[in-house]
């Protein structure tokens, strides 16, 4: 089972990105029943669009911001979203105690993935490779 990180979700939401086809192709091989995301990715995106809307100065910027916000909302409404539950919180605590040098949100995502014994789909290997026990794949790179 696979958990899409926020970066992969963003690519899929903006279908004009050339990497979108690679991700969708890999997702089709896996099947919908084995694809998930996290409440943390929802939080990251919601905060990002909220902040962008708060800074919008023109009508065009506001309309654009709300369209993207709605795209994000529709994506997550149809997604299988994993919670930051007690098991994830315990895993996060252990990773934090081990002084894993990764950002807070990434560490929370990793904790959810590890607690559910899944594989994270991300391009952010630089940070996530630092987390022991985390399985990672990148669907933006064609398999050789």
Q: What is the pLDDT along the chain (144 residues), one digit of tens a residue?
A: 999 999 999 999 888 888 999 999 999 999 999 999 999 999 999 999 999 999 999 999 999 999 999 999 999 999 999 999 999 999 999 999 999 889 999 999 999 999 999 999 999 999 999 999 999 999 998 776
Instruction: Give the CA-trace dihedral at 99, 100, 101, 102, to 10 degrees.
Output: -130
Burial (CB < 10 A; 0-12, 13-18, 19+), residue 82, is: buried
Question: What pTM was computed for the model?
Answer: 0.92
Rounded CA-CA distance 136/128 in Å is 8
Residues in Cβ contact with 27 at an 8 Å cutoff, skipping those fewer than 6 apart: 35, 139
Q: Give me the domains of the chain, ranges plus CATH numbers.
A: 2-137 (3.40.50.1010)
Q: What SS3 state is found at 4?
A: strand
């Amino acid at each position: 089972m696979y958990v899409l990180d926020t970066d992969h979700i963003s690519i899929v939401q903006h279908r004009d990105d050339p990497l979108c086809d690679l991700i969708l192709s890999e997702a089709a091989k896996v099947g919908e029943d084995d694809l998930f995301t996290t409440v943390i990715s929802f939080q990251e995106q919601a905060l990002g669009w909220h902040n962008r809307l708060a800074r919008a100065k023109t009508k065009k910027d506001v309309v654009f911001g709300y369209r993207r916000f709605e795209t994000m909302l529709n994506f997550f409404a149809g997604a299988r979203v994993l919670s930051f539950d007690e098991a994830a919180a315990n895993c996060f605590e252990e990773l934090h105690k081990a002084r894993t040098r990764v950002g807070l949100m990434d560490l929370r995502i990793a904790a959810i993935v590890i607690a559910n014994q899944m594989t994270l789909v991300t391009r952010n290997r630089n940070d996530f490779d630092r987390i022991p026990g985390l399985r990672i794949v990148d669907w933006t790179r064609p398999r050789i």
